[in-house]
Structure 1
Amino acid sequence: MGNVTSSVAARLAFFPPEPATYEVAAEEGGLRMTGVLPDANVDVHALPTRAGTRVVAAFWRYPTARLTLLYSHGNAADLGQMLGLFMELRSHLRVNIMCYDYSGYGASTGKPSEYNTYYDIEAVYDCLKKEYGIGQEDLILYGQSVGSGPTLHLASRLEKLRGVVLHSGILSGIRVLYPVKVTLWFDIFKNIDKIKQVECPVLVIHGTADDIVDFSHGKRLWELAKEKYEPLWVKGGGHCNLETYPEYIRHLRKFVNAMEKLAKERATKAPQTLMI
């Protein structure tokens, strides 16, 4: 029963677009994405993971940004399809954007699985630290739908993380299929347990008419968060259209501004090094 149910949940979790909507080509000085509109402002990476795969990640810097948004997308898109949204978020929120494709998505190698998504986001976070000097104090993790899984996996391990956004997030894989009351050992993406370990402010965004991941998932995730930020319940919103509602970007901007203020306050209170 356990293996069968877990297998069904895993099959429901991952739908990488076929064919991928972009490719990655080597050029002098690095990599570039092909098949999409060229962008001279993006850094493209192919990052090795603990699972032996290589995941494609893209970093857009906003000139005056203090904060960086690490975005884990949903289960049926790749980076090529998400570029428009990323550009809007970068512009409206005035943050750096780091996004990536899970193993088996887009030009990333390997196959998608729960644990591969965990290894994927760990590799991307390591890149942010080593390549860009971005620490967790200036980082917001953003997880959409299945992306809430790797987001909470990493968030539960970072004690000084600035913030978390859960967009149409799931309580767990099995709970999307069946309204079970307890966490089963063979479940996947056990967000219902991991969110209790997150120490930073959590913003939950969910549509009240979501017919893929019931609204109750978002409501419960918000209830379980230690440090709750005012949630956004999008009246009439579905699973894949929340970003089309004007209140989406307004509320997200409000959250980012609040997190930026916290980051500045923390920096001001930090002990100063005595220069001799």
Structure 2
Amino acid sequence: MQSINSFFTNAQQQITSLYGFQDALLFQPNEPDTSRTIVQTPDMFRMPYETITIETPDNEKLHGFLIKQPSRTSERETLVFFHGNAGNIGHRLQNAHLLYRTCNINILLFDYRGYGKSTGMPSESGLYTDALAVYDYVRKRNDLNQEKIFLFGRSLGGAVALHLASHLAQTNVTPSLYCVIVENTFTSIPDMAKRLFQVAVLDYVPNWCYKNLFPTLSKIRHIKAPVLFLSGAQDELVPPQMMEKLHEECKSSKKHLAIFPDGQHNTTWLSHDYTNQIRNFLAECDRQSESTASNAN
């Protein structure tokens, strides 16, 4: 009996510890330690940009950059970039420059609440609120092509982007999203906890024991926009099988899973053919959009 009591006591302690430390494990805005004080700007890559501030309904102020192509700006696609769980938008500038240069797109980079120069503290519901506020901001920009707004999310950012896309699909917001692109994204936080901690008792822990859920797998089933899944086969953090599962459960009539054999969690964007996959997918979305418009006429 003592051993059974000991088992349940240890299990309870593990669950309590997991709940208490979830935010610290999931949200890492202070990594590296200068992330809240130093945010590099797009001019280091000679990209023209505006510094923007987006106010959320709960009065947080999100800091961001709107990087626009120097010519035919209003004809280009605009990517809204949802970054991962650490650092700030300055750490994504090299990646943004690659996409800006090879895909000829506009890019909006922003920091979630509690990251970079944005106010507040991160939380699951807070990040969802931020995502919708940024989306609403983009939709008010009459210098951007409103028919070609798309979302890009990496890791945690993919979960936030998919939540937003799911919300927009379920509320039938128009104009619809051009497409969604996610990279090395997980199916849910409980699934990731089982993967990272490898504690048998977690198989029996109900979801209400988790402070953060990010139930991406359930959200993906509502999305109607085209979805491109970018998966690093050598991802050491998020099992590539999770990306395969997301692709499998996606109900969009246009979806594609691109696997990069040498891609790791944070370096898949450096893989061979990475930008070609994105550029080709955008071209397919353009053809589909033109075909839909033609049929409507």
TM-score grouping bracket, smaller chain normalisation: 0.7 to 0.9
Give the structure 2 partner of residue 48 of structure 1: 55
Cα deviation digits, residues 137-160 of structure 1 (max 9, x gap): 412111100001220111012232
Whichever structure has more strand as a proportion of its residues is 1
Give the structure 2 partner of residue 241 of structure 1: 267
Aligned counterpart for 2:257 among listed residues 231, 235, 254: 231
- The amino acid of 1:92's aligned partner reads T
1:20 aligned onto 2:35: yes
Give the structure 2 partner of residue 90 of structure 1: 100
Distance 1:245 1:152 in 2: 23
Q: Which shifted more, 122-131 or 101-110?
A: 122-131
Distance 1:51 1:183 in 2: 30
Cα deviation digits, residues 135-184 of structure 1 (max 9, x gap): 76412111100001220111012232221111001111121121559982
Deviation (angstroms), 1:133: 5.7
Deviation (angstroms), 1:199: 0.6
Secondary structure of 1:231's match? strand
Give the structure 1 partner of residue 123 of structure 2: 113
- The amino acid of 1:47's aligned partner reads I
Aligned counterpart for 2:180 among listed residues 159, 164, 170: 164
Deviation (angstroms), 1:68: 1.1
Aligned residues: 263
Q: Which shifted more, 11-20 or 122-131?
A: 11-20
- The amino acid of 2:53's aligned partner reads A
Query: What does 1:244-259 align with in structure 2 at a 5 Å threshold?
Result: 244-259=270-285
CA contact (8 A) 1:164 1:203 kept: yes
Deviation (angstroms), 1:269: 4.1
Cα deviation digits, residues 41-87 of structure 1 (max 9, x gap): 20111111123211012111223343211110111121111112112
CA contact (8 A) 2:231 2:258 kept: yes
Aligned counterpart for 1:262 among listed residues 288, 291, 294: 288
Give the structure 2 partner of residue 175 of structure 1: 191
- The amino acid of 1:99's aligned partner reads L
Structure with greater Cα Rg: 2
Deviation (angstroms), 1:3: 6.2
Aligned counterpart for 1:221 among listed residues 228, 232, 246: 246
Distance 2:99 2:45 in 1: 18
Structure 1 residues not aligned, in runs of 5+? 25-32, 272-276
Secondary structure of 1:262's match? helix
Whichever structure has more helix as a proportion of its residues is 2
Secondary structure of 1:51's match? coil
CA contact (8 A) 1:79 1:99 kept: yes
The CA RMSD over aligned residues, in Å, is 2.6
Structure 2 residues not aligned, in runs of 5+? 1-11, 170-175, 196-202
CA 1:36 to 1:68, structure 2 compared with 1: closer, same or farther past 3 Å? closer
Distance 2:136 2:105 in 1: 19
Q: Percent identity?
A: 28
TM-score (normalizing by structure 1): 0.85
CA 1:21 to 1:7, structure 2 compared with 1: closer, same or farther past 3 Å? closer
CA 1:112 to 1:254, structure 2 compared with 1: closer, same or farther past 3 Å? same
CA contact (8 A) 2:179 2:225 kept: yes
CA contact (8 A) 1:68 1:139 kept: yes
CA contact (8 A) 1:148 1:167 kept: yes
1:80 aligned onto 2:103: no
CA 1:13 to 1:132, structure 2 compared with 1: closer, same or farther past 3 Å? farther
Distance 1:156 1:182 in 2: 26
Give the structure 2 partner of residue 57 of structure 1: 64
Q: Which shifted more, 210-219 or 174-183?
A: 174-183
